[in-house]
Each structure stands twice: as C-alpha cells, then as structure tokens.
Structure 1
Amino acid sequence: MYLTTNKMPAEYGSWLSKENWDYFSTITFKHDIKPKRNESLMLRLETYLKGIGIKFKLFWVMEHTTNGYQTHNHLLIEGDGVKEAVHKYFKDKRLIDNRFVKHIPYEKELGASYYVSKYINQSNSKYGIAFS
C-alpha cells in the first residue's frame, strides 16, 4: 500500500514519535549550501558519528530556505554527547555560527510531526535516519 502525499508527513511523524529523542536541532549555515552538498554533509556526519564510537540516533530533514538557493536542516537527536558531536562536526568545518544553530530539548508530548515531519512533504526535501 502506498501513502498519499497528504498522509505521508502524519504517518512519518507518528512513526518517529514512537522513538525516544533528546533534542530537536535547527542548523542554518553561514554560507549558501546547495542541496547536493547539504546531503553529502549529512551523510558524512552519519559516518563521523559512527567513527567516534558514541551511541546515537539521528533523523534529519533538509529544507530549502525562502530565498530558494540555499538549505538548512532540522534534526532529531538521541544519545549522550551526540548534540555536542553534531555541533562540533559543523563548527570544525567552519560552516556554522552559534547564533544560527538551536538545540532545544525534545518534548515528547508535541511529537515528531510538530518538529520535523511537516518538511518531508516538500518535493525538493531530502531526509535520512542513522543510528549506531
């Protein structure tokens, strides 16, 4: 059975809400990051987190900004030290300014739909999930 595009965000949000998350993060880059580079950065972030050996769960979705030529990310993060590792990854690459990055404690009662699944339905979005 295939989900209609109207149902997909709600179903994805429901599925993600069954997981435990510690933080919701928004990462807006200092520079214009096009979709292909953004996706590559996120896949390398997943590899980086696996490489440093911490237990983690990460869901990310890339959203196009209103100007249409750059992107930013929304993440759900779970695991001790993972938020700090994600921040360090982008900081070490000099891609972020602390003023444009937010890490907010995840409130389970709001659910994942509130935080991220609303972005999945955009035709040009990319998303992924990774865990150790």
Structure 2
Amino acid sequence: MKRTTLNRAYGDFFGKEQWEHYSTLTYKFAVSINRNRIEMDKLTKYFKKQVATFSIIWVCEWHTTGTSTHSHLLTKGVDVALIDKYWSNRNLGYKKFNDHKVYERDKGANFYMAKYIDKEIDYDIFISKDNQLQGLVLN
C-alpha cells in the first residue's frame, strides 16, 4: 500500500470519531520515544481512574531539533484541565506550553496525526467504555 493511501485511510478512520479536543503536550526536558510511551500509558491509566468513558488517540513527534519528543492527542470525554493537572502534578511540563484546541474536523488534525503513523514513531488508540479500557496497539 502506498504511504499516502495509508495516511489517508488512518486520517479517515481518526476522523470518524466526534473528538472534542486536539492537544499538544510538551515536555520541559528531553524525552525519548520509549519514555514518552511510558508517560502516555500512565496518562491513559489516570484518565481511566478519573473518567468513566473516554477516547484518545496520541502520536509522538520528534521536535525539529531531534533531541526530544512531544505528543499530539485527539480526546473525547476528557476535560483539558484534567490533562494539564496531570502534566503539572507529574512535573512533566508547564501548562502554558501545552496547547488545547476545540476539535474541528475540517481543520485536518486527524490527518496531521495520521502522517506520523508510518514514520517509525510511537502512537496508540484507546477507547474506554463503562470504565473498561480497550487499547488498540497498532504498531
């Protein structure tokens, strides 16, 4: 399958959900792909304790410097204040450097995130239903 076809298919798939927010979470120190995975897994478990039903897709992206990562998220059922509280309490970064936007499908965040799927970077999809976490580890 061609790369553009795969990216388009993932973007279409991501776009089927009625997401509420598109967020970027930035670390205050250098974080590897593996460390980002650990932190994002912990964030997802935190959501499970705080929110009965939620959905999240996250992708890890290298900074342009190539020295650290940050994550982009599409979320549903999670208040962005909860994300910022977790990020600050874990001392991962500063709230002012996190970016949360109301999700507008026409702006293409679902396709922006999909372009990282084939770049040998980490990502995951989690959908909880009645506080039962269902993870789809796709890579």
For normalisation by structure 1, the TM-score amounts to 0.87
What is the Cα-based RMSD across aligned positions, in Å? 1.5
Tell me: CA distance 1:90–1:22, structure 2 relative to 1, closer, same or farther (3 Å). Answer: same
What percent of counterpart residues are identical? 33
Q: What secondary structure sits across from 2:94 in the alignment?
A: strand
C-alpha separation in 1, matches of 2:15 and 2:32 = 29
Compare relative contact order (CA 8 Å, sep 6+) and give the higher one, 1 or 2.
1
> Which residue of 49, 56, 59 maps to 2:57?
59
C-alpha separation in 1, matches of 2:25 and 2:82 = 13
Q: How many residues align?
A: 127
Match of 2:118 in 1: 121
C-alpha separation in 1, matches of 2:127 and 2:30 = 28
Deviation at 1:6, TM superposition (A): 3.0
Q: Could you list the structure 1 runs, at least 4 aligned residues long, displaced by more than 4 angstroms after superposition.
A: none
- Retained in 1: the 8 A contact 2:87–2:94? no
C-alpha separation in 1, matches of 2:124 and 2:67 = 21
Deviation at 1:67, TM superposition (A): 1.5
Match of 1:26 in 2: 24
Structure 2 residue runs without a partner (length 5+):
129-139
Match of 1:42 in 2: 40
> Which residue of 124, 127, 130 maps to 1:131?
127
Structure 1 residue runs without a partner (length 5+):
none
